Structure 1
């Protein structure tokens, strides 16, 4: 079972999400919260595997709550849900430690699939979100030297893998590009995240652009 906490200030939205998730026998909605501050308390009490987090809420918004949860409860992975596809929200959520980002108009089956993806330790970067990250990085003309020094511990092959991850390729596509087994790619990704102290592929994508390893449009 994948345990889920629903965080949204709209009572009807919470009820709708609970109804959708109840259609999957392997998902257990263990609780709800109506704002970011309450979410922090509920996560401490319930330790959910996945937190469905709204962005705009009273008392504490979803991005601030995500930032605190990423530090205080790293085992709980956060999937952002919002009606807005605004780059500031997307980028803020990803930088705060979210593992995925979905619009509320997402189809029910896609939401269920996303929860299982996040719970399995993967990140969820849709093409539109990846495009947002790339566009934001394009407005940072100079790579961050301090961030670039973090790449020194990577082997040449690990740098190759990180570059392909940043370009949005799946493990299977990276394996085909490098002519290696998919299991080898998974091992490389795991070592890259460990060496760079990154939570998941989302943070790896951001770092790759921040360091100049990958350039928008390149």
Structure 2
């Protein structure tokens, strides 16, 4: 039996995950839909496993995973998300996740994933086919900050607003944008936005 925290901003999804884990003999000790609040709860309760969606409030699942690892959390992290493009899976692995499961899969596979990572196996069961797309490979080469800027640009945000959101200078945001143009082999902001939207980044 493992202690588990569930972070997903959809209550129905949390209920389904909780029931599956309860039936498998695990103990869900906390749940929620806010990343920053989740970070505090994980520090306090130290669950054996955190199951987290990428799209949660205030702090996304990838950034939460990265912060947990930097803060010394040694439990397991399983990302459970519908954002299953290769660059997202790769970013989760780089952030320190032990596994990734797509919400497009049968929910019952979640117990297989939990069992695997509890035994210290990595669980990334369907990643091989994603490496054949050159644009996906470009996205995996972006730093976390660059990817964050790309996400905000895809939402139509101005550089000054991005700077405020990220607590950095407008000049630094402009530098990140320049790197994005270079790394993604495009020349204009509109091309960056189109690139992001082709890969469901928003």
TM-score range, shorter chain: 0.5 to 0.7
Unaligned runs of 5+ in 2: 139-202
Normalising by structure 2, report the TM-score. Answer: 0.62
- Secondary structure at the aligned position of 1:122 is classed as coil
Q: Summarize the Cα distance change of 1:85–1:139 in structure 2 as closer, same or farther, 3 Å threshold.
A: closer
Tell me the TM-score normalized by structure 1.
Answer: 0.58
1:36 Cα deviation after fit: 1.4
Please say if residues 36 and 60 of structure 1, whose CA atoms lie closer than 8 Å, have aligned partners that are also in contact: yes
Counterpart of 1:180? none
* 1:4 alignment partner in structure 2: 4
CA 136–32 in structure 1, closer or farther in 2 if over 3 Å, else same = farther
- Displacement of 1:99 in angstroms is 0.9
CA offsets 1:135-163 (integer angstroms, 9 cap, x no match): 579947xxxxxxxxxxxxxxxxxxxxxxx
Q: Does 1:109 align with 2:108?
A: yes
Q: Which residue of 2 aligns with 1:61?
A: 60
Question: Any conservation in 2 of the 1:91–1:132 contact (CA below 8 Å)?
Answer: no
Alignment CA distance shift 1:139-1:23 (3 Å): closer
Specify whether residues 134 and 39 from structure 1 end up closer, same or farther in structure 2 by C-alpha distance, changes over 3 A only.
farther
SS in 1 for 2:24: coil
CA contact (8 A) 2:131 2:137 kept: no
SS at match of 2:127: helix
- Say what the alpha-carbon RMSD is for the aligned residues: 2.1
Quick one: structure 1 residues 73 and 28, their matched pair in 2 at CA, closer, same or farther if it must change by over 3 Å?
farther
The count of corresponding residues between Structure 1 and Structure 2 is 138
**Counterpart contact for 1:67–1:96, Cα < 8 Å:** yes
Offset at residue 133 of structure 1 (A)? 5.2
With over 3 angstroms needed to count, the CA separation of the structure-2 counterparts of 1:102 and 1:34, relative to structure 1, is same
Helix, strand or coil for the counterpart of 1:48? coil
The whole-number CA distance in structure 1 between the counterparts of 2:128 and 2:45 is: 31
Deviations along 1:168-198, whole A, 9 cap, x unmatched?
Answer: xxxxxxxxxxxxxxxxxxxxxxxxxxxxxxx
Cα distance in 2 for partners of 1:91, 1:136 equals: 14
- More deviation in 74-83 or 59-68? 74-83
